[in-house]
Chain A
Amino acid sequence: MAPELSDHVVEMTIFVALFVLVSGMGFVAARWRRAESMHHLDEWGLGGRNFGTWITWFLLGGDLYTAYTFVAVPALVFSAGAMGFFAVPYTILIYPMAFLVLVRMWSVSYTHGYVTPADFVRGRFGSPTLALLVALTGIVATMPYIALQLVGIEAVLKAMGVNGHLPIIVAFLILAVYTYNSGLRAPALIAFVKDSLIYFVIIVAVVVIPYKLGGWDVIFGSAEQALSATNPKTGAPRGSILLNANNQLQYVTLALGSALALFLYPHSLTSVLAAKNRDTIKRNMSALPAYSFLLGLIALLGYMALAASKEYGVAPIVTDGKTDGNTIVPVLFDKMFPDWMAGVAFAAIGIGALVPAAIMSIAAANLFSRNIYKEYLKRDATPRQEATASKIASLVVKIGAVACILFLDPQFAIDLQLIGGVLILQTLPAIAIGLYTRWFHPWALICGLVAGLAVGIGMLYQIPNPNNGKMHFGGSAYKLSEIGFDSEKQIYVGFVAVIANLLVAIIVTAVLRRTSAPAMTDDATSPEDYFADRAEDSPPPAAATEPAGVVGP
């Protein structure tokens, strides 16, 4: 039976009240840690490059662990079992991997005033074409990710019996206005509320729900039983609480590929570049795994939902004959929590969508203003014009995301995000490897990027999904038997594509170096830039034309 709004008055009241509270904070944020002028991209887009350890922790946590993650990961565990737990190894190995790379990125960006990853590529390799491709890849990969945050809010609203698109249009309108007004300061301030609520809700959930269901033994036991039921569409069991012989390779390549991609996303780098100094980033690489632990517990909500399905009637909501798997966690909260607590939990997810949506739209907007507007449309743009272009672009990006949900199937956004993860991974050679070496020729990087994009999209196109009858773009697990291996093993598409990308980049570089290809243009960066740190108490860089107070290693 579909939920009715009249049964959810308490939940709705708390949800709306908390939503109004954070919207107010979003507007006030413009005056928080106030700068002399907001008319500079360093201020609007990077909060003055002056966030300390705590703010960065909340901001990055709020940015990387999105509302969509909170509903989609347990939904995957609910439907497939152990495979959905890949989010845990993924978010463990990301931090030691990024530990050294991100501080280099921060230093070189601080020294040269880079705001986007494409800015760095432009400076490092001197190729506007490569920078444009990196910027476009970033924008294309980020847009559907913003739309997915709306899917997260809609899942919560459905659980409260609210259907239709009007509420999310209003929510995004408010979000768009205060992001325009306050820039990165808005999500930074709201992240405090979002993350506090999420930690509170999950800690309560992992105590209360297992207690009600009879303990973890019972939860894993019923999950195992439920997953062993045969899926009528494939003739195989639905899933398993352990990995099988065929999906282990997919599990580790998906974890590794996703981890490599995470900090290539423009919005992750936005939060990193907003940090005050190198130590802030290093401390966060040790402290952010607290969120990974939390995500592991959130993933297990999927099993709690399986265990609660008989006694408490927890099941995904069906509207117009379509089952929405993403509603499983909101429904679980609704059935297992008292009304007020469910309201808090819904608000936590709803607000959880606003923080990443704001940061993503800022990141996409910065890519537009720096790497398209200033590079191609108005070369002599002043910092003020640049900031204005970004602010307007952030509005356009959000309208685009809402339009994507309104006029296209939300499933389209989910497909695009799946593709987006594979696409953004293809910027790895230019950005992450580029931080260490300039051995690659920019033309070779362009060839590699294009090859990686083609291989990735081509492989995704071939993957069907028997569960919803889709023939193409049905997932990211590619059967090795498709390319002639005598094996039912599966592998993550992005991983294969980035290897193709690297091979092409290496071969073309080697060939260009042997032939009489034009010499590469100058590297705008020098080796010591990658270790530069901000001197104690030096003012935010936007105050001066030159970054102030850079100290050597």
Chain B
Amino acid sequence: MTPDPTNARPRARAADASGWNWLLAVPIVIPLITLFYNRETPRLFGFPAFYWMQLGFVLIGVISTTIVYQMTKRKD
């Protein structure tokens, strides 16, 4: 229960630090830039770009979090 204090800190730090985590920034930043999607064309199935693009961002979010989860999973 009580880990050796001398190596607890570096081990802990490594536990959730990963380069893959940067991928999480993509679905956070994209929906915040209205310049990308605040437009009417191109339309898709009758949806203005504003609507289908933002619904499409949901997919970007799912893909990014799934990749990060799979790549940083604790190897047993």
Contact = CB atoms under 8 A, between A and B. Distances in A.
A527 B9 contact: yes
A92 B61 contact: yes
B40 A242 contact: yes
Given A242-B38, A283-B69, A528-B12, A96 B64 contact: yes
Contact of B65 (A85, A217, A285): A285
Q: Is the interface of A mostly helix, strand, loop or mixed?
A: helix
A527 to B, nearest CB: 4
Contacts of B15: 531, 553
A92 B39 contact: no
A406 interface: no
A296 B32 contact: no
A39 interface: no
Interface size class for chain A?
35 or more
Contacts of A300: 51
Contacts of B8: 526-528
Contacts of B32: 89, 93, 252, 255-256
Interface of B: 1, 3, 8-9, 11-16, 21, 24-28, 31-34, 38-40, 43, 45-48, 50-51, 54-55, 57-58, 60-62, 64-66, 68-69, 73-74
Nearest to B44: A216
B11 A220 contact: no
A346 B43 CA distance: 32
A241 B65 contact: no
Contacts of A104: 16
B50 A242 contact: yes
- Chain A CB count within 10 A is highest, among B3, B13, B15, B66, for B15
A95 interface: yes
B40 A92 contact: no
Given A531-B16, A552-B11, A93 B51 contact: no
A440 to B, nearest CB: 20
Contacts of A552: 3, 11
18 contacts: A85-B54, A89-B54, A92-B60, A93-B27, A93-B31, A93-B32, A93-B61, A96-B26, A216-B46, A220-B51, A243-B50, A248-B34, A286-B62, A286-B65, A292-B58, A293-B55, A552-B3, A553-B11
Given A96-B28, A289-B62, A85 B3 contact: no
Contacts of A89: 31-32, 54, 57
A279 interface: yes
A104 B38 CA distance: 36
Interface string A211-241: 0000111111000000000000000000001
Given A242-B48, A527-B9, A531-B12, A96 B55 contact: no
Nearest to A300: B51
A216 B66 CA distance: 31
Contacts of A553: 11-12, 14-16, 74
Contacts of A242: 38-40, 48, 50
A217 to B, nearest CB: 4
